[in-house]
């Protein structure tokens, strides 16, 4: 290379799944039939109404130009109505909502809007790797806080406060939690808001899993005082089977949203209008839509539990979200070794918990975005081969 890359590229690694999917693709090219239980990309279709809305808009002559960076008023209004109806939260569609090209985009936009070089950011372990990556790319120091089973995968605020919190600007949280499946609670959100106000730390709840295997969606913005110190990301990726559509949002205080918009308006040129029209339709989904979706995931989860029992793993049976988080048998060194064994021996890929931090060393994560047929085939492969796993 004649031109050296920016130093920030040395601060992050290629996303784990980008590398792993390359390996799986190579194995498939060699004739291997890999069953991928790793990625949380919904395999079921969006509703027919959503597809129809996309098609109707796409054939109109005026649908193909640049769009507002803030999204069309109808989309912001639909997000606002969604939050009022399903979360009991009032959000001003003109000032307190910013549509995003996927909530992952929002993680970087928020980081760029609030982090200066040398600031500190509280990052959960285990947690979504993008939280730490975005902080590092913005020149922040990451301050890891532990999530452990003994504390129900909730932050231990007393332990966090034993650190020097000087210079901490943001705290990333994600409830319902990925990867652990831990549920949100009003007490947790109240504690987070109080913690943020006490230490002047902006709390960001990443909330894409609140409708999956959960009959009580919660938002941190429902807590009194939350708009003073909290933001919430949400997405249609998981709740409406629209992961590849890249439609999300961030909601919160008008001033916070304005600063995020300043960054976003310099990063993209707005969302394709037919996608916005389809999103409006998706946000009008009735309770029946979520019920049918969750019925399918419930059936799959029952099979995953059987698979985990066969593998000698331990798990909580009331997890939320698209995944099942499970402890590996004690005699295995770590989850990466266990995952590699399953891939080599049975051609089954399961995500090692170390993908999400050191506290995932003894855990694996299984996606429910796989058909019942393929999940049952995993069980058959293990039973037929009769290798000693336990």
307, 383, 298: which is closest to 350 by C-alpha? 307
First to last CA, the chain: 49
pLDDT at residue number 245: 96
291 pLDDT band, cuts 50/70/90, is very high
Task: Give the mean pLDDT of 231-239.
Answer: 97
Map residue 184 onto helix, strand or coil: coil
Q: Is residue 322 part of a domain?
A: yes
Domain boundary among 238, 253, 282: 282
pLDDT at residue number 27: 84
The domain spanning residue 330 has which CATH number? Answer: 3.90.1150.10
Q: Does residue 126 have a cis bond before it (omega within 30 degrees)?
A: yes
Q: What is the mean pLDDT of the chain?
A: 95
Structure tokens at 54: 């996309």
Number of domains observed in the structure of the chain:
2
Question: Do both 191 and 336 map to the same domain?
Answer: no
CA distance 232 to 303: 33
pLDDT tens for residues 176-223? Answer: 999 999 999 999 999 999 999 999 999 999 999 999 999 899 999 999
More confident residue, 117 or 26: 117
pLDDT at residue number 151: 97
Containing 231, the helix (H) or strand (E) segment is strand 230-235
Residue 321 has pLDDT above 70, yes or no: yes
260, 267, 268: which is closest to 233 by C-alpha? 260
Does the pTM surpass 0.75? The reply is: yes
Residue 86 has pLDDT above 90, yes or no: yes
Domain boundary among 282, 310, 341: 282
Q: List b or e across 17-47, with b for residues whose CB sees 16 or more CB atoms inside 10 angstroms.
A: beebeeebeebeeeeeebbbbbbbebeeebb
229, 239, 258, 282: which is closest to 52 by C-alpha? 282
Q: What are phi and psi of 140, to 5 degrees?
A: -85, 160
Domain range enclosing 364: 7-45+287-385
The domain spanning residue 214 has which CATH number? Answer: 3.40.640.10
pLDDT tens for residues 18-76? Answer: 777 788 888 888 889 999 999 889 999 999 999 999 999 999 999 999 999 999 999 99
Residue 304 has pLDDT above 70, yes or no: yes
Question: Do both 323 and 174 map to the same domain?
Answer: no
pLDDT at residue number 24: 83
Question: Do both 34 and 180 map to the same domain?
Answer: no
Question: Do both 340 and 377 map to the same domain?
Answer: yes
| Half-sphere exposure (Cβ direction) of 150: Cα atoms closer than 13 Å | 3
Q: Is residue 2 part of a domain?
A: no
pLDDT at residue number 12: 80
Task: Give the mean pLDDT of 354-372.
Answer: 97
Beta bridge partners of 287: none
pLDDT at residue number 387: 62
Question: Do both 306 and 368 map to the same domain?
Answer: yes
């Amino acid at each position: 290379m004649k031109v050296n890359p920016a130093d920030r590229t040395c601060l992050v690694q290629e996303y784990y799944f980008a590398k792993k999917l390359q390996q799986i693709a190579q194995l498939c090219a060699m004739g291997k039939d890999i069953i991928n239980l790793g990625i949380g990309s919904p395999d079921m279709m969006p509703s027919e109404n959503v597809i129809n809305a996309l098609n109707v808009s796409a054939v109109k002559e005026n649908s193909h130009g640049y769009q507002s960076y803030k999204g069309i008023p109808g989309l912001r209004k639909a997000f606002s109505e969604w939050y009022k109806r399903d979360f009991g939260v009032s959000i001003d569609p003109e000032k307190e909502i910013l549509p995003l090209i996927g909530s992952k985009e929002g993680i970087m936009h928020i980081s760029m809007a609030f982090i200066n070089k040398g600031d500190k950011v509280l990052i959960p372990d285990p947690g979504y790797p993008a939280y730490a990556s975005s902080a590092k790319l913005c020149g922040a120091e990451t301050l890891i806080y532990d999530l452990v089973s003994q504390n129900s995968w909730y932050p231990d605020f007393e332990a966090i406060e034993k650190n020097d919190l000087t210079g901490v600007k943001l705290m990333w949280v994600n409830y319902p939690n990925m990867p652990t499946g831990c549920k949100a609670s009003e007490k947790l959100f109240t504690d987070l808001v109080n913690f943020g106000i006490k230490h002047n730390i902006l709390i960001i709840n990443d909330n894409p899993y609140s409708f999956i295997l959960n009959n009580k969606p919660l938002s941190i913005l429902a807590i009194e005082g939350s708009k003073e110190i909290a933001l919430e990301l949400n997405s249609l990726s998981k709740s409406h089977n629209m992961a590849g559509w890249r439609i999300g949002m961030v909601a919160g205080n008008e001033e916070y949203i304005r600063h995020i918009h300043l960054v976003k308006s310099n990063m993209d040129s707005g969302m394709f209008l037919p996608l916005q029209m389809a999103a409006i339709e998706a946000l009008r989904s009735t309770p029946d839509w979520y019920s049918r979706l969750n019925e399918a995931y419930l059936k799959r989860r029952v099979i995953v539990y059987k698979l985990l029992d066969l593998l000698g793993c331990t798990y909580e049976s009331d997890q939320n979200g698209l995944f099942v988080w499970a402890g590996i048998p004690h005699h295995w060194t770590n989850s990466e070794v266990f995952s590699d064994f399953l891939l080599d021996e049975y051609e089954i890929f399961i995500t090692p918990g170390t993908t999400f931090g050191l506290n995932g060393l003894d855990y694996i994560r299984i996606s429910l975005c796989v058909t019942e047929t393929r999940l049952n085939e995993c069980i058959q492969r293990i039973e037929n081969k009769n290798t000693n796993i336990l």
